[in-house]
C-alpha cells in the first residue's frame, strides 16, 4: 500500500533505520477489534474445536491479544515490502499503521519492468507464510490456549493475504496487476486499466457492504475508490511534469525564523497577502507555517508564542534541481499541498501544487502550440 498520512502519528520503534509509526485511528480500531473479537470468542473456539472452558483467559483478554497479534502481523507484512524495496535500491522513510492497514512510505517506485510486481507481491506472500507458520504450530502443539490463538491469528493472516491479492488499488494485488499490464501497455495506460478494475471492485464492495450493514467495509470501499483515483491523478501529473524541475515552479520567499513570535509572522503574512510561509529552523529541517494554523491560537497569545512552539507536520525538503516527477507523491501527501525548497542551509521558498499545475498547463499549451505550428509548416 502507498503512503499517505503523516500527521497524527507517533513513532513506536525503528528497525534498521525504518521507523514504525502508529496513527491515532489505529487506537480507535484497537478497541473495535477487542470488542468484536470478544463477541466472536466462542464462535472462534468452536471453529478451532476447543472447549472455551479449557482456555485460561477471558474473552476480552483474548480479544486484546488477538488485536496485538493482528497489528504485529500487518507490521511484518509491511516490513516485507521494505526488505524488497531496499533490495531494489528504493529508500523507505517509514511505515505507518492506521485503521485501514499499513502504509510504507517510499521515496520513488522502481521503474524497471516487473519491479513493482515483486515489491507488491511480497506482502501477501509474507502473510501466507505467517498463516502457514501459525497453522503448523497449531497442529504440533497440545496446549488448548496455543491451538486456539494460532487458529485465530492464522485465519486472520490467511484472510489478510487473500484480501491483499485482490486486483484493486491500494491493495498489493492492484499494484501487481498494474506492473504486469505496464510491461505491455506502458505505465499510464496500465494505471488507467487497473484503476478501472479498482473502481468496479470498490462499487461492488460498497453495495454489498451497505446491503449487509457493514460500516467498516463501506469505509474500505470508499478508501479503495479514493486511492485508485488519486493514483491515476498522480501518474497523469507525473507524465505531464516530465522534464520540469522544482526551480521551474517554486515561489521564491524569505522565511520566518522559528524564534519569531506568531504576531510577527501573522503581520508579515497579512501585509504580503501570504497564506503560507517557509520557516527557518536551527536544525535545518523543513517546516511551513500557515495563516490558518496561526488563527487556531487565541490572538492574545500571538505576542507570546514563538513559531517553534506550535506543532506542525514534518516536511520533506526539496532542492531546486529535484525532478518534479520524483517529488510529486510527497507534494500530494502534504496536508497543505506545498513543500519548502532549500539549497544547503538557505531556505529559498515554497513549491505549491497549484503553482505546479499552472506550469504544467503552460508547458502543455506551448508544446501543443509548437506542434500545431510545425504541422502547419
Residues 56 and 185 reside in one and the same domain: no
- Contact partners, residue 60, CB within 8 Å, separation at least 6: 34, 38
Examine residue 208 and say whether the peptide bond preceding it is cis (omega within 30 degrees of 0).
Answer: no
Domain termination site, one of 142, 165, 188: 165
Task: Say if 375 falls within a structural domain.
Answer: no
Q: Can you give the CATH number for the domain in which 323 is found?
A: 3.10.580.10
Per-residue pLDDT tens digits for 261-303: 999 999 999 999 999 999 998 888 888 998 888 988 888 889 9
Strands 251-252 and 101-106: unpaired
Contact of 83 with 75, CB cutoff 8 Å: no
Residues 114 and 41 reside in one and the same domain: yes
Residues 322 and 279 reside in one and the same domain: yes
Task: Say if 377 falls within a structural domain.
Answer: no
Residues 316 and 277 reside in one and the same domain: yes
Q: CA 268 to CA 279: how far, in whole Å?
A: 13
Residue 330, number of CB atoms within 10 A of its CB: 21
Residue 77's alpha-carbon distances to 89, 200, 332, in angstroms, are 19, 26, 25
Residue 148's alpha-carbon distances to 139, 284, 333, in angstroms, are 11, 52, 41
Task: Say if 369 falls within a structural domain.
Answer: no
Supply the pLDDT for residue 368. 57
Residues 134 and 177 reside in one and the same domain: no
Question: All 3 cell numbers of residue 267?
Answer: 503581520
Confidence of residue 7 (pLDDT cuts 50, 70, 90): low
Q: Which of 29-43, 75-89, 233-247 has the lowest mean pLDDT?
A: 29-43
Picking from 146, 130, 129, the residue whose alpha carbon sits closest to that of residue 138 is: 146
Task: Say if 193 falls within a structural domain.
Answer: yes
Task: Say if 376 falls within a structural domain.
Answer: no
Residues 348 and 211 reside in one and the same domain: no
Residues 86 and 102 reside in one and the same domain: yes
Residue 339 DSSP class: E
Domain count for the chain, please give it: 3
Write out the residue range of the structural domain in which residue 354 sits: 246-360
Task: Say if 185 falls within a structural domain.
Answer: yes
Residues 8 and 107 reside in one and the same domain: yes
Confidence of residue 250 (pLDDT cuts 50, 70, 90): very high
Using only the alpha carbons of the chain, give its radius of gyration: 24
Predicted TM-score of the model (pTM): 0.72
Supply the pLDDT for residue 56. 83
Residues 2 and 110 reside in one and the same domain: yes
Residues 292 and 211 reside in one and the same domain: no
Task: Say if 365 falls within a structural domain.
Answer: no
Supply the pLDDT for residue 374. 46
Residues 11 and 151 reside in one and the same domain: yes
- Contact partners, residue 94, CB within 8 Å, separation at least 6: 11, 18, 19, 20, 21, 104, 105
Task: Say if 231 falls within a structural domain.
Answer: yes
Residues 60 and 3 reside in one and the same domain: yes
Per-residue pLDDT tens digits for 123-173: 999 999 999 999 999 999 888 888 888 998 999 999 999 989 998 888 899
Amino acid at each position: 500500500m502507498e503512503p499517505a498520512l503523516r500527521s497524527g502519528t507517533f513513532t513506536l520503534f525503528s528497525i534498521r533505520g525504518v521507523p514504525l509509526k502508529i496513527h491515532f485511528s489505529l487506537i480507535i480500531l484497537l478497541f473495535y477489534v477487542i470488542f468484536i473479537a470478544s463477541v466472536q470468542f466462542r464462535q472462534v473456539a468452536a471453529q478451532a474445536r476447543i472447549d472455551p472452558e479449557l482456555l485460561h483467559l477471558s474473552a476480552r483478554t483474548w480479544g486484546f491479544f488477538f488485536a496485538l497479534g493482528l497489528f504485529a502481523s500487518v507490521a511484518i507484512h509491511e516490513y516485507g515490502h521494505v526488505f524488497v524495496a531496499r533490495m531494489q535500491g528504493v529508500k523507505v522513510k517509514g511505515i505507518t499503521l492506521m485503521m485501514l492497514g499499513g502504509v510504507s512510505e517510499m521515496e520513488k517506485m522502481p521503474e524497471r519492468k516487473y519491479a513493482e510486481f515483486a515489491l507488491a507481491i511480497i506482502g501477501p506472500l509474507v502473510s501466507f507464510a505467517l498463516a502457514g507458520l501459525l497453522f503448523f504450530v497449531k497442529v504440533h502443539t497440545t496446549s488448548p490456549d496455543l491451538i486456539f490463538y494460532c487458529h485465530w491469528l492464522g485465519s486472520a493472516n490467511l484472510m489478510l493475504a487473500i484480501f491483499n491479492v485482490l486486483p484493486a488499488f491500494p491493495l498489493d494485488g492492484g499494484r501487481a496487476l498494474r506492473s504486469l499490464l505496464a510491461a505491455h501497455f506502458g505505465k499510464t495506460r496500465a494505471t488507467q486499466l487497473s484503476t478501472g478494475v479498482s473502481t468496479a471492485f470498490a462499487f461492488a464492495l460498497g453495495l454489498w457492504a451497505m446491503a449487509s450493514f457493514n460500516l467498516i467495509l463501506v469505509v474500505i470501499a470508499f478508501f479503495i475508490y479514493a486511492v485508485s483515483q488519486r493514483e491515476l491523478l498522480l501518474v497523469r501529473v507525473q507524465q505531464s511534469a516530465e522534464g520540469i524541475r522544482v526551480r521551474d515552479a517554486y515561489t521564491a520567499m524569505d522565511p520566518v525564523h522559528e524564534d519569531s513570535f506568531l504576531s510577527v509572522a501573522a503581520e508579515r503574512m497579512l501585509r504580503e497577502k501570504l497564506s503560507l510561509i517557509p520557516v527557518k529552523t536551527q536544525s535545518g529541517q523543513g517546516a511551513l507555517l500557515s495563516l490558518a494554523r496561526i488563527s487556531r491560537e487565541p490572538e492574545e497569545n500571538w505576542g507570546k508564542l514563538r513559531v517553534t512552539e506550535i506543532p506542525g507536520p514534518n516536511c520533506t525538503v526539496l532542492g531546486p534541481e529535484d525532478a518534479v516527477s520524483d517529488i510529486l507523491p510527497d507534494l500530494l501527501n502534504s496536508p497543505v499541498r506545498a513543500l519548502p525548497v532549500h539549497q544547503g542551509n538557505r531556505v529559498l521558498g515554497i513549491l505549491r501544487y497549484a503553482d505546479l499545475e499552472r506550469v504544467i498547463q503552460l508547458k502543455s499549451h506551448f508544446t501543443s502550440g509548437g506542434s500545431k505550428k510545425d504541422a502547419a509548416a
